[in-house]
Amino acid sequence: MQWRRCINRVLIGTLLAAMGLGTSCTTETRHKILTVVFEDMPPPGQEQPSKPFVRKPRRPPPFKPPPPPMIRVTAYKPAFNTDWKAVLRKLPKYAAGGIDWVTALEAGDIKPQPGIDPEHAQEQPVLPLDVHLEPPAQPLFKVTFPHKPHTEWLACANCHPKIFHMQAGADPISMEKIFAGEFCGHCHGKVAFNVTTGCPRCHLALAGPQ
């Protein structure tokens, strides 16, 4: 701050000398002259109160988005109150512990509907046809596919022709592809019995003498 005061005195002295006033100038005259240069110059005998220096921000403050509106979510209430776990516990089980849907269907414990929309869903006739698939030189792994329980559950269009072609030998079915979710694996292992524990249900020879 000393250097600023020195510069101010030099400027004031130079200004007074240039105006020809010198040291004989009165205090009031000096004050009038100084107020021309310094507008906030206080009168003689009074001290100018100090003002705090406030630095303005270099950048405007960042935009603060308004808070998101509150969304009230009402709890979902089903149209019916059914303990499905208790219902499943009452259904018959097969040896591996899963639900035996075929036995439940034959016993009348369940009755599948022809479709979700009762106005357009139509009953279809049950097809009592067994299809036999036997790998070459492996009679023990002969597969018997019963259409009857499947057509009691599903319409033909669920499987034909998108999953299975309606021609013998047209589908290269293998256990690897079934485990990968193809062919029978579209349902078995997901909603039907598990293929890893239900081998005798398709390979009847593995179940022993009937």
pLDDT tens track of the chain, all 210 residues? 555 555 666 666 666 565 554 455 666 666 666 665 565 666 666 666 667 777 777 777 778 888 888 888 777 676 677 888 898 899 998 877 788 888 999 999 998 887 777 777 788 899 999 999 998 888 899 999 999 999 998 888 889 999 999 988 899 999 999 999 999 999 998 888 888 888 888 999 988 765
Q: Distance between CA atoms of 150 and 101, rounded to whole angstroms?
A: 10
| Cβ proximity of 188 and 198 under 8 Å | yes
pLDDT of residue 117: 76
pLDDT of residue 73: 78
Domains of the chain by residue range: 2-37, 88-207
pLDDT of residue 13: 63
pLDDT of residue 59: 77
Fold classification of 88-207 is Cytochrome C3 (3.90.10)
Write the DSSP string, 71-126. ---PPP--SS---HHHHHHHS-B-TTSSB-HHHHHHTTS----S-S-TTT------
